[in-house]
Amino acid sequence: MKKTLWIAIAGALAASVIAASAQEVLSANAVGYIKRTVPANGGLEVISYALNPMPYSGVTWFTNTSVASEMPNYSWAYFWNDGTQRWVGSQKSGKGAWDGVGMAKVVLPGEMFFLKTPPGAADQDVTITGEVPDDPTLERAVIGSDNNAALGNPYPVDVAFTNLGVAQTAANYSWAYFWNPTTGRWIGTQKSGKGAWDGVGLAKTVLAGEGFFLKDLNPGSVWTNTKPYTWP
Amino acid sequence: MKKFLTTVTILAAMAAVATAGVGIQWQTGYGGYDHTVSPPLTGGTGAILDSYSVIWQLIYAGADNINNPIPNAPGDPLPVAGGANGDYVQGDDVVWAQRTIALGGGTAAEDGSVWDNWMYRVGTAGDTTYVDLSWNTAGFVYQRVFEGTPTWSSYYYDSPLFAFDETWTDSLPPEGFNTEPAQGAGFQASSTMPPAVPEPATMGLLGLGALVMAFRRRRA
C-alpha cells in the first residue's frame, strides 16, 4: 500500500513537471487602465493613448481603442494636423460609426488628441485600456520651427513636465500649452531666455493619458523617450 | 530695454493666441431622407441622394439673427442662384459655404469631401470645416439642403439655428454642427419652393382652349 502511494505521488509530481514545461512562460504582458473624464455637454478633454490596445497589431488604430468604443454616438474626436496647424474632426454617427479621419486614423505613441461629448450628454468617463508598452524607447516627431506639436507622454506614468526630454531640449522662448477642461481653454507656459519654464510649467504634472501642445522654436526633431519602468 | 523686450514678446504671444474667428465643421450626424419618407426617419430606405442630387449650404443668419425664409406663396418669385449673398438666400442671410453632391453621392467639388447616399461622410478626403479667422461678431448659422436644383414647388430643408463661437481660434477644435434637428434620427426636406403660377398669356391660351372645347361639344 505504502509503495503504491509513493508511486502515485511520484507520478503526480512527474505529471505536474510535464504540465509546467508545456505551459512555459514566454512573455509577460501587463494590462493597464487609465481613466479620463470628458466633460458634459460638448466639453473637451485631451487624450494620449499611452497603452497598446488589445489585440495589438503593432499600430494603434483609433477605431480599435477602448475610448473610441466608449464614447457615445454623436461624440467627436479631433486629431492635430502638423501641416495645416489645425484640428481635423471625426464624428461618431447616430448609427455608431466614426466618420472621416477617424475611420483610418493611426494614433501615434506620444500623440495628443481631443474627445468631445455630444450636446446634452453627461460627463463621460472613458478608460484607456491596453497592454503597458514594453518598448525600451518610443519616438515622437516634433514639428518645431514655432509650430504647435500635439504631444503626450507615450508611457503610462505621471511625470513632471520639466522632466520630459522634449521640455528640456525645447529652445528658450518656446511655449507649451496645457488644456483646462473646465474653462475649455489652453494655459500657456514659456521657457525663458535663461532656459527655465515659468511657474505654470514648473508646477505642471503631465498625467498618464494626458496631452499638451509644444510650440518649439527649434527646427523639427525627434523626441526619444526612454521607458521609465523596469517591468514589463 | 530687457524688460521692454520681454513685454513685447509676451504681448506678441498673447496676440497670437487671442485671435478671434469662427471654425465650424458642418455635416450630418445621422443622414438625410427624401421628402416622401414617412417618419420616424430611422429606417434603412429613402436616402435623399438615392432620388435627388443636393445643394447643401452653410448659411450665416445675418445681423438680424434669424433664418430669412424663402417665400412660397403663389406668385412669389423663384429664388435664383448667383445673388450677392450667395445662391437662393433671402434678406441679409449669407451663404458661407456650399456643397453640390450628385445623385447617389460622391465628391463635393467645393471642399473635396466625399459623401454616401445618406449625406454621411465617407473617407478622409477634403476639409469639412468652414474657417474665417477674421470674423469677430457673435451670431448664428443654419444649414439648408435642396433636393435637386431648386425649381417651382421643389423641396428643401432648413436646420435649426446654431450659435457659433466668434472667439474660436485654430488652436481649438472646430465646433461641430450637425444638420439634423435632434439626435437619434435623420432629417427630411419638408419646406417647398413657391408654386408656379401660370402667366396671363398662358391663362389666355388655356381659356381659348376651353372655349374651343366647349364650342366643339355644342356642335357635336
pLDDT in tens, B52-79: 999 999 999 999 999 999 999 999 999 9
B154 vs B220, residue with greater confidence = B154
CB contact under 8 A, B128 and A104: no
From the number of C-beta atoms within 10 Å of its C-beta (0-12, 13-18, 19+), residue B5 rates as: exposed
Indicate which of A78, A93, A216 best probes the interface with B, i.e. most B CBs within 10 Å of its own CB: A93
A76 contacts B176? CB cut-off 8 A? yes
Residue A215, Cβ density class (10 Å: 0-12 exposed, 13-18 middle, ≥19 buried): buried
**Confidence band (pLDDT; 50, 70, 90) for B21?**
very high
Are residues A153 and A207 located together in one domain of the fold? yes
Closest Cβ opposite residue A91 in set B17, B29, B31: B29
The residue that leads in pLDDT, A26 or B149, is: B149
Helix (H) or strand (E) holding B49, with range, is helix B48-51
A46, A71, A228, B85, B215 from A74: Cα distances, Å: 18, 9, 37, 31, 67
What percentage of chain A exceeds 70 in pLDDT? 88
Range of the domain at A123: 31-131
To the nearest whole Å, the CA of A74 is away from the closest chain B CA by 6
A190–B contact, CB cutoff 8 A = yes
Cell of B73: 406663396
State whether residue B182 is helix, strand or coil: coil
Residues A92 and A75: their CA atoms lie apart, in Å, by 5
pLDDT at position B12 is 44
> Does B119 have pLDDT greater than 80?
yes
Count of CB pairs separated by less than 8 Å, A with B = 76
Q: Is B194 within 8 Å of chain A by CB?
A: no
Query: Does residue A112 sit in the same domain as residue A186?
Result: no
Set of chain A residues whose Cβ sits within 8 Å of the Cβ of B25: 89
Q: Do B171 and A177 touch (CB under 8 A)?
A: yes
B32 interfacial to chain A (CB closer than 8 Å) = no
Boundary residue ending a domain (A131, A160, A180): A131
Q: Are the C-beta atoms of residues A113 and A46 closer than 8 Å to each other?
A: yes
Domain stops at, among A107, A131, A155: A131
Give yes or no for residue B218 having a pLDDT over 80.
no
Note whether A171 and A104 are same-domain residues: no
CA distance A88 to B128: 9
Domain assignment present for residue A215? The answer is yes
Q: What single-letter DSSP state applies at residue A111?
A: B
Confidence of residue B220 (pLDDT cuts 50, 70, 90): low
Q: Does A49 touch chain B (CB under 8 A)?
A: no
Question: Confidence band (pLDDT; 50, 70, 90) for B197?
Answer: confident
* Closest CB to B29 among A94, A104, A175: A94
Q: How confident is the model over A176-214, as pLDDT tens digits?
A: 999 999 989 899 898 898 899 998 899 999 999 999 999
Whether A145 and A118 map to the same domain: the answer is: no
Q: Tell whether A142 and A203 lie within a shared domain.
A: yes
Q: What is the mean pLDDT of residues B166-185?
A: 93
Shared-domain flag, residues A184 and A106: no
Q: Choosing among A71, A73, A86, A115, which should be mutated to test the B contact, i.e. which has the most B CBs within 10 A?
A: A86
Chain B residue with Cα closest to A93: B29
Domain count, chain A: 2
Report if residue A232 sits inside a domain: no
Query: A58, A130 in Cβ contact below 8 A?
Result: no
Number of Cβ within a 10 Å radius of residue B57: 25
Higher pLDDT, A211 or B11: A211
Report ipTM (2 d.p.). 0.72
- Taking the CA of residue B121 and the nearest CA in chain A, the distance in Å comes to 6
- Determine, yes or no, domain membership for A231: no
Contacting B residues, span 74-113, partner chain A, CB-CB under 8 Å: 113
* Backbone φ and ψ of A208, nearest 5°: -60, 130
**Domain-embedded: residue A25:** no
Looking at the structure, do residues A152 and A75 belong to the same domain, yes or no? no
Predicted TM-score (pTM) above 0.95: no
Closest chain B C-alpha to A158 CA, distance in angstroms: 25
- Separation between Cα atoms, residue B167 and residue B20, nearest integer Å: 4
- Identify whether the C-beta of residue B152 lies closer than 8 Å to the C-beta of residue A66: no
Contact residues for B49 (Cβ-Cβ < 8 A; gap 6+): B32, B101, B102, B103, B104, B105, B115, B116, B117, B118, B119
Residues B21-32, mean pLDDT to the nearest whole number: 94
Shared domain for A163 and A127, answered yes or no, is no
Q: What is the pLDDT of residue B124?
A: 83
Q: Nearest chain A Cα to B41, which residue?
A: A94
Final residue belonging to a domain, choices A96, A131, A166: A131
Q: What is the pLDDT of residue B52?
A: 98
d(CA A46, CA A36): 9
Q: Using the beta-carbon criterion (under 8 Å), do B171 and A116 form an inter-chain contact? A: no
Instruction: Please give the mean pLDDT across all residues of chain B.
Output: 87
Cell numbers given for B162 = 446654431
Residue A67 near residue A128 (C-beta atoms within 8 A): yes
Instruction: Report CB contact under 8 Å: B176, A95.
Output: no
Instruction: Tell me the pairing of strands B191-192 and B139-147.
Output: unpaired
Interface mutation target, options B171, B177, B180, chain A, most CBs of A under 10 Å: B171
Closest residue, chain A, to B125 (C-alpha): A100
pLDDT at residue number B2: 55
- CB pair distance less than 8 Å for A87 and B123: no
